A and B are shown apart, each in its own frame.
Chain A
Amino acid sequence: MKKKLTQAHQQKPWRIQIQRLGFILLVLVIAVLSFFMNLNFTSKAAQAGVQIRILEAERESLIRSISANRTDLAILTSATVMQKRAKELGFVPATRADIEYLYIENYVGKQPQPVSLPPTVRDQTVNYLTPAFTQSIWDWLYQGTFIMLDQEGK
């Protein structure tokens, strides 16, 4: 009877323990990394969100400020103020006797001041916020996975 020989071997228990510990530590490290990555992303997103709010408030304030500055300039150059300033500088209203008319070729006469044109209103149907500001990390991961799978399917 032929005797089959099998070789039995077993790793030492301390090696198995080290392997298990290593695996657990690897999982732990990945989990911690993921957690901090997520924390980093979300804090950046929150910061960007707050920044957007601040900028929007600043824009509103600037719109008010521009309008106010334009009016302040108009007050400084109003008819009454200009007349007063002219009088203080010694000017007097011209009479017909003070005026001499000359023919100047190509003279186009008094031109109006350019009136500032308000900006065109943006198309309200278009979303101008990029997904980077609105997507969560999970949305981003899922979307990325689907795009990758779609590309592989092709």
Chain B
Amino acid sequence: MKQGIIRFYLVGIAIILFSITIVVRMVQIQTDPVFTEISEKVGNQAMYKTKEFEPVRGNIYDRWGNLLAGNNEVYEIGVNLNQVNQNNKEEIISYLSSLTGLNRDYVKGRVDISYQPDPLKENYAVFSTVARNASEKMVEDIAAAKDTNNALYPISWTGRLQRTYPDNRLAANLLGFYSSQGFFGVEGFYDNILSTVESTTYISMNPYDVMEIPEIPHGASVILTIDREIQARIEEILDRSINDSGSASGTVIIMDPETGEILAMATTPRADLNQSSEKILAEYPTLNVEGYDIQTPYNRAIMQTYEPGSVFKVFTLAAALDSGAITPETEFIDTGVVNIGGMTIYNWDYGAWGPQDMTGCMQHSLNVCLVWMAQQTTVKTFYEYLTAFNIDRKTNIDMDGEASYPFLSPSNPTPFGSDPNAPRWYEGMIGPHSFGQGVSVTPIRMITSISALANEGRMMAPHIQKAVVQDGRIRYYNPKIVSTPIKPETAQTVTEMLANSLELESSDAYVEGYRMAGKTGTAEIAGRTGYLKGVTNASFVGWGPIDDPQFIIYIWLEKPKTSIWSSVVAAPVFKEIVENLVILMDIPPDNIRLEMASTQ
């Protein structure tokens, strides 16, 4: 009996000691730094999940609210590696390979990745992506297949937004493109407001620990001044005219001179924006031109400088008239040749045109007369006017990548340094400058400066943003005057003279029923050792209707083959654009418009 009690107590003591050991060990584990670290790590892995919040990139609309750049939902399809085993692997590979059209070996490689849940290890892998940018249809097919086939259970997907351009190539040059960040055009310039900052938050997986998920503001949307219908029509006309004339490239810009709004801006080439950035950039190859490797500009209208030729003469005429050096009736006897600063300058046809008034000089685009006009203005005043027209600087249009080329002038004679072989300004340069050679500018620079002539002497800041939609509000862009280079009367006189010269010339640019001012420009192209033979840049600038200009058009065809003359290749393009534009912009012919104005 006594032995039995002793045994009973011994068992009791053993149980108590065992319990104490467990408690001691528990306390030891709880307080041991190694165990604490492990338990925290394991606990956090299960308790918290990293969640990345990608804000929705803002849309881009044309002036009428048509979507030019938006976002479409695509899916990333993959497999949860911990659920893949030898029994279902082959079936998953076969199914995903046939559904996505991806190579079977590639899919196998993705599915074969070993499961490794430790994020600190190099081969950390819990999910393997098989296909990116999958369509909604594909995901629906997978969901249906999973319902009937348990082997496909490890396949899962996550949705995300992908930048999409509903019109593919339309306005590609001005929109730019998005690939993790905005490049070129509007996408590049307004990247900061179209996208807001991505953020990462730890989300507690404990359902009792409810937390508010931070709200990431969406990117602002940008409404452009572009008119989609005009843009589409202009691109169609430009592509056809390039094809017809055999030109290397082409550019057309249409602007509202009163506000500086860009209504259309077409250039070539224009990539399909709904493809990868590598494929987009492959459409702008590097070409070897005259021994130089030149990257094809994404948007020639703002990124490529060139010598504009005779369209530049409108500045010489405006400067001479505004300074009082000439009047429209001033007479000039054209001898067909002039020598200035050691350079002999001829007219475009090497002919002598005899007595001419200033309208005649512009109508026949006489280089000799324009040199004389600049000389009459005086060197100092001539360059002061060109500076007032901002020829020596960028327009600062709200698009990425605007280019400029140093302008040689008395105020900036050695922009390329003091090397005696480097180009530098000297007084004789007033000759070629007076008719647009020896000066290199972008088409956007030209149209912006010339728009002052169509807007009573006021040059407006060119812009493509009409409004920004952000935080539930629309903020409209306020047009800005950047310069007033000439008096309103001078602008009217130049406009009238150029309209007369267009009519008197019986130009191919003449549009019946609408009085337009216009000027052709055929420019020689500089090579390594001088100007190239037989190739030109053909340009045309025109605006109207001249009593109330509602648009100004700038056209540049690079190296046309059917004819080197702007009057032959560029003037008809101007006519066709105006004929379309007056319909798309609801501008009645002059007589009807004036009649309507008188009845109101």
Enumerate chain A interface residues (CB-CB to B < 8 A).
42, 45-50, 52-53, 56, 61, 63-65, 67-68, 70-75, 77-80, 83, 94-96, 99, 101, 103, 109-110, 112-115, 117-122, 124, 127-129, 133-134, 136
Contacts and interface: CB of A to CB of B under 8 A. Distances in A.
Given A70-B70, A121-B217, A101 B470 contact: no
Contacts of B72: 67-68, 71-72
A49 B215 contact: no
Contact of A110 (B64, B206, B592): B64
A111 B338 CA distance: 55
B294 interface: no
Nearest to A75: B166
Chain A to chain B: the 9 pairs with minimum beta-carbon distance, closest first: A113-B65, A49-B207, A74-B67, A71-B70, A68-B73, A74-B166, A46-B207, A120-B472, A121-B217
Given A67-B70, A80-B168, 19 more contacts: A45-B208, A47-B207, A48-B210, A64-B56, A64-B71, A65-B73, A67-B73, A71-B72, A75-B166, A79-B229, A79-B231, A79-B232, A80-B232, A95-B579, A96-B582, A115-B65, A117-B469, A118-B470, A127-B212
A102 to B, nearest CB: 9
Interface of B: 56, 58-59, 61, 63-67, 70-73, 136, 159-161, 164, 166-168, 170, 206-215, 217-218, 220-221, 223, 228-229, 231-232, 469-474, 513, 579, 582-583, 586, 588-589, 592, 596, 599-600
B66 A103 contact: no
A110 B61 contact: no
B299 to A, nearest CB: 19
A46 B208 contact: yes
Contacts, number: 132
Contacts of A121: 215, 217, 471
Nearest to B64: A112
27 contacts: A45-B207, A48-B210, A49-B209, A49-B210, A53-B207, A64-B56, A64-B159, A68-B71, A70-B70, A71-B67, A78-B167, A79-B167, A79-B170, A79-B232, A80-B167, A80-B168, A95-B579, A113-B65, A114-B65, A117-B472, A117-B473, A117-B474, A118-B221, A122-B215, A124-B215, A128-B212, A129-B211
Contact of B66 (A46, A74, A127): A74
B223 A115 contact: yes
A73 B228 CA distance: 16
A103 B599 contact: yes
A77 B473 CA distance: 26
Contacts of A49: 206-210
A67 B166 CA distance: 13
Q: Which of A61, A63, A121 has the most CB of B within 10 A?
A: A121
A140 B58 CA distance: 43
B63 A115 contact: no
Contacts of A110: 64, 586
Given A94-B583, A118-B218, A64 B59 contact: no
A86 to B, nearest CB: 12
Contacts of A74: 66-67, 70, 166
Nearest to A111: B64
A88 to B, nearest CB: 17
Given A67-B70, A79-B232, A118-B470, A133 B210 contact: yes
B210 A134 contact: yes
B145 to A, nearest CB: 21
Contact of B596 (A56, A103, A115, A136): A103
B212 A118 contact: no
Contact of B67 (A61, A70, A96): A70
A101 B170 contact: no
B217 A77 contact: no
A138 B232 CA distance: 68
Given A49-B210, A52-B210, A113 B66 contact: yes
A83 B232 contact: yes
A115 B474 CA distance: 9
A103 B598 CA distance: 11
Contacts of B160: 64
A64 B472 contact: no
B56 A67 contact: yes
A72 B135 CA distance: 13
A78 B166 contact: yes
Q: Which of A67, A133, A136 has the most CB of B within 10 A?
A: A67
Nearest to A118: B218
A109 B213 CA distance: 46
B369 to A, nearest CB: 36
Nearest to A47: B207
Contacts of B67: 70-71, 73-74
Contacts of A128: 212
Contacts of B170: 78-80
A75 B229 CA distance: 15
